[in-house]
A and B are shown apart, each in its own frame.
Chain A
């Protein structure tokens, strides 16, 4: 069966510090991978998606970047965090063009 792991689960970082959130998928090959942010009281916002190694599409201009160094690994990064980067970050995968997403447990980021 397929599983998705995301870490760290919780992170408290000062403004201006770097960020790295990691996500790996097991049990499938060539998945489509996604990073979402969920702010309190707001819907899920798609940040990045990837259909293959090294292929990254950005949906929203921002202080973040994403990379896919391996088929089943997706990384969300920032060089300098802003207060507005605080939120709940979710990694997800899907197979093909389906809209059925399978999410990780999420990473709660607080920027102080």
Chain B
């Protein structure tokens, strides 16, 4: 059975303190790995798609990387507005119905 595990469950950082979130996965054939951001009481917002090991994507202070077994979401010099829950999802087959989501990492950036 597909498994997606995110760590840590929660992370508190000071503004400007860089760190990384981890998403490890076990799938028989990865079709894509997706990162989403979710603010409290809102729906998730799509951030990145990664398809193959070695691939990297960047958006503002966020950079996502992918290996054969895990993905990292690096956050550089974060600001309080980066506080949110970050969700990782893996896709094994065709279609978003084949997505398996992790539990998320709740990130808090203190000013």
B101 within 8 A of A: yes
A105:B43 contact, CB within 8 angstroms: yes
Task: Flag A33-45 by CB within 8 Å of B: 1 or 0 each.
Answer: 0100000011110
B101:A43 contact, CB within 8 angstroms: yes
Across chains A and B, the number of contacting residue pairs, with CB separation under 8 Å, is 68
Nearest B residue to A94 by beta-carbon distance? Answer: B96
Given contacts A104-B43, A105-B43, contact A59 B96 (CB under 8 A): no
Nearest A residue to B97 by beta-carbon distance? Answer: A49
> Which of B34, B42, B49, B99 is most buried by chain A, counting CB atoms within 10 A of its CB?
B99
B28 within 8 A of A: no
A92:B31 contact, CB within 8 angstroms: no
> In chain A, residues 49-74, which have Cβ atoms closer than 8 Å to a Cβ of chain B?
49, 51, 57, 59
Given contacts A99-B91, A100-B49, A105-B42, contact A49 B101 (CB under 8 A): no
A59:B97 contact, CB within 8 angstroms: yes
B73 within 8 A of A: no
Residues of B contacting A34 in the complex (Cβ-Cβ under 8 angstroms): 96-97
Which residues in A have some Cβ–Cβ distance to B below 8 Å? Answer: 6, 32, 34, 41-44, 46, 49, 51, 57, 59, 90, 92, 94, 97-106, 108
Please give me the 8 A-B residue pairs with the lowest Cβ-Cβ distance, nearest first.
A103-B43, A99-B91, A97-B94, A44-B101, A94-B96, A43-B101, A49-B97, A99-B32
6 contacts between A and B (CB under 8 A): A32-B97, A41-B103, A46-B97, A97-B95, A99-B34, A102-B46
